[in-house]
Amino acid sequence: MESFIRLQMLSSQMNLEPAEESAGTRLPQSQLPGCFTPKQKNAVFVYPAQLPNGQHIKLLKTLLTSACERDCYYCPFRAGRDFRRATFEPEEFASLFMDLHTAGLAEGIFLSSGIAGGGMRTQDKLLDTADILRNKEGYRGYLHLKIMPGAQYAQVERATQLADRVSVNLEAPNTERLARLAPRKEFVEDLIRPLQWVHHIWRTAPSHTAWNGRWPSTTTQFVVGAADESDLELLTTTSWLNQNAGLQRAYFSAFNPIEDTPLENKPATNPLRELRLYQASFLLRDYGFDLEDIPFGQDGSLPLKADPKLAWAQEHLNRQPVDINCAERRELLRIPGIGPRGAATLIRARREKRIRDLSSLNTLGIVASRAAPFILIDGHRQEQQLCLL
């Protein structure tokens, strides 16, 4: 049962690392088996998560070890910081996870690690754990594996064969910004290159080399505001990775200072900035927006008061509303309240009959109140009150 205490120590800071979940939560104690003592029941963190396929699961997010030889300025696990560290060996961790999984307490796993003995050695431990789970324990559930700085091509390839998702934490958008956060990480060599390798393996390897016949998705994470970077810098890198490295998703984590780190006196980042970055990144990935379309201010920041799609529409569609009955898909996607699914449904529906009013839009899964100021129906505007979110 001591292992559960270690699991608590390793997973308690993982809320700093957004992955598939929308919000972290401690697993309800009532769901833990009765053989656990109250202290042990307090020991596991599981997060409600939504997978890329839309499925909702209980995701265990944890590290293999909280020991780390690096000294990233924002990180609670940095070398020399005084706190009690914990470590699992691959076999031991796989067995513990399977106990939780078999008991129905964890349906998926996100596994990362501090760096101990170099990036290659640490990556080997993560791969060994994944290998034991898949090939010895017969685990078929969701597995998100972190790629360590310094991992080699063959290790990245092995990760793609074992995981449903692989990720590399960029933390910052470019070399100069990263140097202000993580002096011992090389932006291109350590971080960008493994993401490019994943893309290269995907383009060149036969599909059967992927886990379960499915190719793993690729993600990254940024610490927002810690290096005084702009939103433009973050989204420039995100957009480049979307197009050149097959990145499926960027996660943005608003900086929060941690006591006893070099950045402990730096102010926390407004969480609203994190939301605006997500909204803008989805416009780039799913809505056909280019960077030039995103309404950055002079200093490269996104407007905090309105979502970027609404800000764009207010500037461009107020005087030239879009005719909902004949607009092309790319034009529909520019209208607030219409997403990729709503646009597809609308295009299908209007093949059958013309759209006559706002209420018909609502039945198609479109937020008509948001779309109304920017559209024409039968040549007429459909004014309604604006929602700024």
Q: Which stretch binds ligand SF4 (CB under 6 A): 11-19, 75-83, 312-320, 380-388?
A: 75-83
| Binding track over 195-224 against ligand SF4, x by CB under 6 A | ------------------------------
Nearest residue (CB) to ligand SF4, 141 versus 262: 262
Which residue, among 106, 6, 2, has the nearest Cα to 63 in the 3D structure? 6
Pick from 19, 32, 72, 361: which binds ligand SF4 (CB under 6 A)?
72
Q: Provide the 8-state DSSP code for 374.
A: G
Pick from 6, 78, 158, 276: which binds ligand SF4 (CB under 6 A)?
78
Pick from 47, 77, 88, 312: which binds ligand SF4 (CB under 6 A)?
77
At 119 the three-state DSSP class reads: helix
Query: How deeply is 285 buried, as exposed, middle or buried, from its count of CB atoms within 10 A (0-12, 13-18, 19+)?
Result: middle
Least distance to ligand SF4 from the beta carbon of 137, Å?
A: 26
CB atoms within 10 A of CB 389: 9
| Binding track over 98-127 against ligand SF4, x by CB under 6 A | ----------------xx------------
Note whether 178 binds ligand SF4 by CB under 6 A.
Answer: no
Q: Calculate the CA 328 to chain-centre distance.
A: 30
**% helix / strand / coil in the chain, to the nearest 5?**
40, 15, 45
Note whether 70 binds ligand SF4 by CB under 6 A.
Answer: yes
Q: Which stretch binds ligand SF4 (CB under 6 A): 70-78, 102-110, 139-147, 367-375?
A: 70-78
Q: Which stretch binds ligand SF4 (CB under 6 A): 35-43, 72-80, 239-247, 273-281?
A: 72-80
Note whether 75 binds ligand SF4 by CB under 6 A.
Answer: yes
Least distance to ligand SF4 from the beta carbon of 245, Å?
A: 21
Nearest residue (CB) to ligand SF4, 62 versus 242: 62
d(CA 257, CA 291): 30
Tokens of 32: 């833990």
Q: What does residue 249 show for φ and ψ, rounded to 5 degrees? A: -160, 140
d(CA 259, CA 282): 33
Nearest residue (CB) to ligand SF4, 14 versus 302: 14
d(CA 98, CA 84): 25
Please, which residues have CB within 8 angstroms of residue 340's CB and are 6 or more apart in sequence? 286, 287, 333
**# binding residues, ligand SF4 (CB under 6 A):** 9
Least distance to ligand SF4 from the beta carbon of 127, Å?
A: 17
CA angle 227, 231, 249 (to 5 degrees): 100
Nearest residue (CB) to ligand SF4, 10 versus 201: 10
Least distance to ligand SF4 from the beta carbon of 7, Å?
A: 17
Least distance to ligand SF4 from the beta carbon of 170, Å?
A: 11
Q: At what angle do helices 231-244 and 271-286 cross, to 10 degrees?
A: 30
Site residues, ligand SF4 (CB under 6 A): 68, 70, 72, 75, 77-78, 114-115, 182
